Each structure stands twice: as C-alpha cells, then as structure tokens.
Structure 1
Amino acid sequence: MFRILFFLIIVVSAVEIALFVWLGNVFNVWFVLFGIILTGLLGALLAKQQGLGTMNRARLELSRGRAPAEKILDGLAILIGSVLLFTPGFVTDTIGFLLLIPQTRKPVKLYIKKVLLEKIRNGSIKVFRHY
C-alpha cells in the first residue's frame, strides 16, 4: 500500500507541475497563480459549508437515536476533498471539488461502501457488536 501511495504522490506531483508549466506558457504566470488562490479560497468556503452541514445532520441523527453512518462517509469525503483543495494544483483541486459537491460525492460514497462491505465479508475488517 505504501508503494502505491508513494507512486501516486510522485505521479500526481509531476502532472501538477507539468500542468502549471503548460498553463503558464499558454496564458501567463499570473493566471496560474490567480487560479491556485481562487480555487483555494472557493474550496475553503465550500468545505466549511459542507462540513458544518454534515456535522449538524450527524447531530440530528444522533439525537434521534440513529447511527449517522451516511454522515460519517460524507464527513470522510469532505475531509479528503478539503485536504486536496489545500494542496496547490488543478488536478487535486478538481478531485477535491468532486468530493465536496454532494451530487458528485455520492458515487464515491457508494464505492467506499462497496469496498468496506467486501472487506467485512472476507474478514479483513472485524465488526464487534455489544448488545
């Protein structure tokens, strides 16, 4: 897993740098800098809005005596999206925005659920219940 993560970090960084250079040549350096700052600010505002909304919905679920499983997955996706938006780059910003927007976050949540259920079925993750 570490090797795959390390490889992805190297590849994504190289793609981001290449994209910065290409956009800087096509437009100019100020356009690239403005884009980085703008996506960071918009991402911070969206992350705050989505995060607070998800936290409030999770509190409501807990007050009703239900486990906020969906809201936990939402919160995880929002956290990952926020981290990606704070890293400079247009590829990571695109992925970050996709994780912050509820309509585009849904397929990611379905994938995470599928992976977790598969890991529970094959015994990689153990679930303990106290009754």
Structure 2
Amino acid sequence: MWLFVAFLMVPLIEIALFIQIGGAIGLGWTLLIVVVTAVIGTMLVRAQGLQAMNQVKSSFNQMRDPSEALAHGAIILFSGALLLTPGFFTDAVGFALLVPGVRLAVFKWARSRVKVTSFGGPGFDNRPPQRDDNVIDGQYSEVSPEQQSSDGPSGWTKH
C-alpha cells in the first residue's frame, strides 16, 4: 500500500514544485536547474559509485562482510536514478542519499528491519573448505568416432 501512495504522491509533489518554482523564476531557469542538477548528480554518482566498488573489492579481498559496501553501492545507484528523474523533490532526495551519513543511516535502518540468519562460506567462517573423498580427479580427452574405430578397443570395454 505504501508503494502505491509513493507512486501517487511523488508526481503530485513534483508537479506542485514545478508550478511554484516555474512561476517564481520562469520556465527557462526551471528547466536549466533540472538539467544542471542531472549533470552534477551524474558526476557525483559516478565518483561515489567507483568508491563503493573499491570498498566492495576491498571487503572481498580482506574476506570481510561486504554487505555495508554493497548497500552503499545500491543506495548510490538508487540516488542516481532519482537524480536523472526530472524534478525538484527527487533531486533533493537523490542528493541527500549521496551524503555518506545519510546512506549510513539508511543502511542501519534497513539492517534493523532485515534478519540475516547466517553469513558464511569458505573463508568467511575461518574453516577450510570440506573435501569430498568420493570424488576422483582425472583428465580426459574426447575421442571422435573415426579415432575410436581405427585404434581398436580402448581397454575400457569388454568384447
């Protein structure tokens, strides 16, 4: 239900802001502001997105939990979508999500609402990966039907 309300209210808020701001400063300035915020937002999203990717790589390299870095990357991606959407309200929310403190608060709020039952795998729980003794390693090569008939039986078949 809340998603329906958001999809209904955001365009209404944007239309009201366009009318109010456009009436105060004029259509040309209003459109210029929308384009400039999209360009600046794109540059900021790119820079912060690269930082987030480096943090994710660092988390994996150091075998740490990457969930916070991944969440920051997802929030940055969402803020980029908001900044590319024409409007003043979406731009304000998009720019707010580019502030690291705001992203951290959103991450903590989301983490408090999500319950993770386990996080692990080889290397994350300081245990070596288990080996299955029933697996036999070997090498093989494919044999074409011509090779098979000219070389005779392979030794693995009974005649």
* TM-score, with length taken from structure 2: 0.70
Indicate how the Cα distance of structure 1 residues 38 and 48 shifts in structure 2: closer, same or farther if over 3 A, else same: same
Structure 1 unaligned runs (5+)?
A: 121-125
Give the equivalent residue in structure 1 for 2:23. 25
Give the equivalent residue in structure 1 for 2:90. 92
Structure 2 unaligned runs (5+)?
A: 123-159
Give the equivalent residue in structure 1 for 2:45. 47
Greater CA deviation, 75-84 or 44-53? Answer: 75-84
Q: Trace 1:56-71 onto structure 2 (pairs within 5 A).
A: 56-71=54-69
Give the equivalent residue in structure 1 for 2:70. 72
* TM-score, with length taken from structure 1: 0.84
Give the equivalent residue in structure 2 for 1:12. 10
**Distance in 1 between residues matched to 2:100 and 2:119, nearest whole Å:** 30
Cα deviations by residue, 1:12-52 (Å, 9 ceiling, x for unpaired): 10110111011111110111101100110111001000100
Q: How many residues align?
A: 122
**Distance in 1 between residues matched to 2:28 and 2:41, nearest whole Å:** 20
Q: Which amino acid aligns with 2:88?
A: F
Q: Larger % of helix: which?
A: 1
Identity, in percent, stands at 33
